[in-house]
Amino acid sequence: MPLEIERKFLVSNEDWRGPWPRVEIRQGYLTASDATTVRVRLRGDAAFLTVKGECGGPVRAEYEYAIPVAHATEMLRLCQPPLVEKVRHLIPVDGLIWEVDEFRGDNAGLVLAEIELREAGQPITLPAWIGREVTDDVRYRNSYLARHPFRSWRAAAA
In the chain, domain spans: 3-157
Average pLDDT over residues 55-65: 85
> Which contiguous run of DSSP H or E holds residue 155?
helix 154-157
Determine if the peptide bond prior to 82 is cis (ω within 30°).
yes
Rounded Cα distance between 56 and 49, Å, is 21
**Is the confidence at residue 55, as pLDDT, over 90?**
no
- Among 130, 99, 8, 93, smallest CA distance to 58 is for 8
Residue 120 C-beta-side C-alpha neighbours within 13 Å: 8
Choices 2.30.22.10, 2.40.320.10, 3.40.190.10, 3.40.50.200: CATH for 3-157: 2.40.320.10
Average pLDDT over residues 40-53: 96
From the list 29, 65, 140, 144, the catalytic residue is 29
Average pLDDT over the chain reads 92
State yes or no: is 140 an active-site residue.
Answer: no
The secondary structure of residue 56, as a DSSP letter, is B
Write the burial class of residue 82 (CB in 10 Å: 0-12 exposed, 13-18 middle, 19+ buried): middle
- Stretch among 48-62, 67-81, 92-106, 140-154 having the lowest mean pLDDT: 48-62
Rounded Cα distance between 102 and 77, Å, is 23
